Structure 1
Amino acid sequence: MPSDAVLHQAAALCLTYPGDDFRARLPLLREAAPQLREFTDHAAVTPARELAAHYVRVFDSGNRYSLRLSRWQDADTRRRGMTPARFGDVYRAAGLEMTDGEPPDFLPAVLEFTARTGDTGLLTEHRAGLERLRTALTDLGTPYATVLTAVCATLPPCGR
């Protein structure tokens, strides 16, 4: 069984837009993180355009299935700006900076941070939101739900 860090890094890659190099990484992702095989197997047999269109339909459809963790944490929209700033503060305290233009509360960025540092604090802090996102994706019937299921399995249960 791979380490949680390997799973978190692989999940980060699975939850980013499936661009040109994504398909080339699938065999490595499949071997490195067997917990993600249902998703990687699906991605391997799905035409690239179809996979990209599905990603856009799911994650670029407003906030319904947002990968921004602050959307799941802060029901009060006035506080939403504070949560992404807190993510940035945690990254800077660990000596890391966001460089790809994604917001700091973007789940793949948080997963990559966790993989690099071993610090699961942000994921654990947002565990309830991750669970709501996982449930929403499961209800939608998207293979991305299996990625969230694998990530959630690495964290303590909600309320602990």
Structure 2
Amino acid sequence: MPSHQLHINRLCDCLQSFDFQQLFIAELGWSYSDNDEPFALTLNDQTWQVSEIAQLVGVVVFLIDGLPERDQRLAIQNELSERVYENLVIFVDSVAQPTQSMWLWLRRDQLRQIAREHSYMSGQPGDLFLSKLSRMVVDINELD
């Protein structure tokens, strides 16, 4: 039986308050990122503010201030993959006062990559999304 239990109410609170660092670190058992300095990423004459908010065995969670169109999100994710191959990118409409987010990750399957996205908006029930998040929980004993 895993020693890290999921607390659905706390997961919901983190999701609804857009506190993704708390969600990954305190609730899902991930670690703080080695790089806690935000950086700028410029693509097609547009600059995006990027923060690394959590990591786990080579996978990094990036938080992007801004919610671009899908083709731009994919280009940003591609650029970040050159920095960290395995990643999850969370775009928010505003880091200061977020009301919506778009989560993007690549599912790698043999020779192809499939972009997966999930949106979350303020006030939206998080039940469906929580089932996806629960698969990201890590028991520290599993890492030994």
> Structure 2 length as normaliser, TM-score?
0.29
Structure having the higher helix fraction is 1
Greater RCO structure (CA 8 Å; 6+ sep): 1
> Structure 1 length as normaliser, TM-score?
0.27
Structure having the higher strand fraction is 2
